[in-house]
Amino acid sequence: MKLENLRLRLRLSAIESELLQLETPSSSSSNRRFSPRLKEERQRRLMKERITIQQSLHLIVYPILTIPVELTSEIFLHCLPVDPAQPNARLAPLLLGRICRVWRNIAYTDPKLWASLGLRIWGRKGLKLGVEDWLRRAGSVPLALSLVFPFSHCPFFKSFHCGFHPSSLLLSDNWGRLTSLRGENFAYTDCLALFVHAPRLIRCELVSIFGYLPPPPATHILLNDLEDLSLTTDGPSTCLLSSLLDSLAVPKLRALRLVCTFYLFPENPFLSFLQRFTVIQTFSVQSRGSPDYGFLTTILDAMPTLISFELRLLYSATIVFDILRLLNDSTTFLPRVQKLLFSITQSVTWEDSFTPILIDALSSRSEAKPGTTRLVDFRFLFNPVAQLDAQISGCVSKMKGKEMRIYVGSVAGMLL
């Protein structure tokens, strides 16, 4: 079958080439061999042969097309981009629809292949129709969206600051199916409206939140399924994150990630939020400035179920060692923590007092004690200006012997 297929395709290619030559002006060398009558007869025979070959090729049943539709659909799912991507004819699922009629029918009728979509709205013509087709093929399956909006008007959305509003005619029928969203350049009021219109969200990441702080909603917005929330803003807008969290009711939230200037973070609204929901297990903070020690420890004390904590700072390692000292001194501070990651971007001058604080904290939490869980993963990433004390290397080796995943040193060193 394979050889026959190859023979037919080679012959078809030869026919196409000869027909092209016959259609060129008669001055060409190949055409001078034929009179007009013979040329016309030759073209007729070649076109008839071409039709016959094409029909024969259509009758060939390729082994890959005998795979059950359900299995083919499952294979197609593994061809999709990992993250929600812009519609692209060179990527699945659109690419799969260009291979053959059978694959096109499978791809265009399987809603799961269309459940993930990325949009960067820059006023592209025809985008509205493409999105409508995409969402129609997604049927009623849960949706994962990545939306990036410019600070300008988007013609196919209702007029609104940043050109976006969840009541948009384009997406109004689909917000209720949204379970995963990554959005950039959303105004604070857009975020509130999004949460109202998308109650089934499970994962949500909002980057570059901006705007003014309006009065809080009359009642908390219930997101009963939300498990993973990530919020990012710049320094002046940090207060928006605290207020946004305080407007939510998220009984199943397990992971919270904040990228902001944390020392500007208003304490009371955030504590109000934490006191209502105490099941957070993963908390990550990335801050340009070092947060206040008292505020940070108060926040961490309000998370008794915390298993993983990450603190990424631009400079100053002092607060890291304040936290490590408290880990050693108090079994009620982060009693269930199993994973700690500290990262300082700028160079850190290692002080003599740092070594015993680090060693004591690791030794104290390397074994489970009454009321505490054993620390199993510890990373401290920074750029030391001098070689670390030999005691630290010995402590690291000892902790590895206790099956703790541990690293202390530069990011470059960890990658080696």
- DSSP tag of 350: P
Per-residue pLDDT at 32? 59
CA geometry: angle 320, 321, 324, nearest 5 deg: 95
Mean pLDDT in consecutive groups of 10 residues from the start of the chain, 416 residues: 77 88 65 72 90 83 82 92 81 89 91 84 60 82 74 36 41 76 85 89 91 80 95 84 91 94 83 86 90 91 95 90 94 95 89 91 89 93 80 86 87 63
Q: Is residue 49 part of a domain?
A: yes
Quote the domain boundaries for residue 32.
2-60
- DSSP tag of 207: E
Q: Is residue 27 part of a domain?
A: yes
Q: Is residue 40 part of a domain?
A: yes
Q: Is residue 351 part of a domain?
A: no
For 73-112, what is each residue's pLDDT tens digit? 999 999 998 877 778 888 899 899 988 888 999 999 999 9
Q: Please report, in angstroms and rounded to a whole number, the separation of the first and last CA atoms in the chain.
A: 51
Q: Is residue 22 part of a domain?
A: yes
Strand partners, 116: 144
Q: Is residue 17 part of a domain?
A: yes
Per-residue pLDDT at 169? 41
Q: Is residue 207 part of a domain?
A: no
Residue with the two structure tokens 């190949």:
30
Per-residue pLDDT at 327? 94
Secondary element (H or E) of residue 383 = strand 377-384
Number of domains in the chain: 1
Amino acid at 285: V
Strand partners, 378: 340, 406
